[in-house]
């Protein structure tokens, strides 16, 4: 294997622990993940919350949109028992709370799901102290463009589908340092071409042995995994 990709715990270790919770992130690190990925939204009162969906109903015992809830209301939600009763009482973390349990030398791929303009001002003070180990990425071109204007030296990545978008052209336009595609439309030759242009490539997301082997063959710099245990074993030390 010419490239030894970084193994990213996608929302922590979601096949074993409730996604985007502190227990999930901590378990992924203990397992040996070299980086973590999380998803970010703004609460009604401007706190950066760690959750994938815009609506809380899939991964908590509540309902409604994050942007309509205050931090206090978000903290009342049980974010663990939907997966298993043993995780009852896990809470939706803020990004600050995640940072408090993740060592500063561990890379974090922070995906901005809530691309509203105010996210730039709320997020930048949180990620700036860890600029060396944080990659801000998003599907939202408007957000990436605004974030790059505010922090032109910060590493950013464009998320997308290479079969539907010229990701290299869009990444150049937005000032992104990385291209972060799903598998559709991506081959080793495509990845090599992006790498030749100087982009760092992060692929998402593997969930079983077959997909792990498929993604490893692409020789990207990093791979996001729902099954980091499998990916670590197949990649090897």
**Residues 164-217: tens digit of each pLDDT:** 999 999 999 999 999 999 999 999 999 999 999 999 999 999 999 999 999 999
pLDDT at 1 over 60: no
Provide mean pLDDT across the span 91-115: 98
Q: 118-127 vs 141-150: helix axis angle to the nearest 10?
A: 50
27 located within any domain = yes
**Is there a contact between 158 and 170 (Cβ–Cβ < 8 Å)?**
yes
Residue 237 burial class via C-beta count within 10 angstroms: exposed 0-12, middle 13-18, buried 19 and up? exposed
63 located within any domain = no
Provide the number of structural domains found in the chain. Answer: 1
Domain assignment of residue 130, given as a range = 6-37+101-235
pLDDT at 102 over 90: yes
93 located within any domain = no
Percentage of the chain beyond pLDDT 70 is 99
Provide mean pLDDT across the span 72-98: 98
pLDDT band at residue 2, thresholds of 50, 70 and 90?
A: low
121 located within any domain = yes
**Residues 6-16: tens digit of each pLDDT:** 999 999 999 99
Measured CA to CA, the distance from residue 134 to residue 99 in angstroms comes to 11
**Residues 142-160: tens digit of each pLDDT:** 999 999 999 999 999 999 9
Measured CA to CA, the distance from residue 92 to residue 18 in angstroms comes to 10
Measured CA to CA, the distance from residue 88 to residue 83 in angstroms comes to 9
H/E stretch holding 49? strand 48-50
How is residue 65 annotated by DSSP?
A: B
3 state DSSP class of 189: helix
Report the chain's mean pLDDT, rounded to a whole number: 97
Q: What is the CATH number of the domain that holds 165?
A: 3.20.20.190
String of b and e for 87-114 (b: at least 16 CB within 10 Å)?
beebbbbbbeebbeebeeebbbbbbbbb
200 located within any domain = yes
198 located within any domain = yes
64 located within any domain = no
52 located within any domain = no
């Amino acid at each position: 294997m010419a490239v030894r990709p970084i193994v990213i715990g996608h929302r922590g270790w979601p096949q074993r622990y409730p996604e985007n919770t502190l227990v999930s992130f901590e378990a992924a690190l203990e397992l040996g993940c070299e980086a973590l990925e999380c998803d970010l939204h703004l609460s009604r009162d401007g706190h950066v919350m760690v959750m994938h969906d815009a609506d809380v109903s899939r991964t908590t015992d509540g309902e409604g949109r994050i942007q309509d809830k205050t931090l206090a209301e978000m903290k009342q939600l049980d974010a663990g028992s939907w997966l298993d009763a043993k995780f009852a009482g896990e809470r939706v973390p803020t990004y600050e709370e995640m940072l408090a349990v993740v060592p500063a030398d561990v890379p974090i791929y922070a995906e901005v799901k809530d691309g509203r303009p105010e996210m730039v001002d709320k997020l930048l003070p949180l990620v700036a102290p860890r600029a060396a180990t944080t990659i801000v990425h998003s599907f939202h071109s408007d957000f990436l463009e605004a974030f790059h204007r505010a922090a032109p030296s910060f590493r950013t990545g464009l998320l997308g589908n290479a079969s539907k978008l010229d990701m290299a052209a869009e990444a150049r336009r937005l000032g992104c340092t990385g291209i972060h595609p799903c598998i559709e439309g991506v081959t080793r030759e495509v990845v090599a071409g992006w790498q030749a242009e100087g982009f760092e490539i992060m692929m998402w997301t593997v969930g079983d042995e077959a997909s792990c082997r498929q993604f490893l063959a692409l020789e990207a710099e990093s791979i996001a995994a729902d099954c980091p245990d499998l990916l670590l074993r197949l990649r090897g030390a």
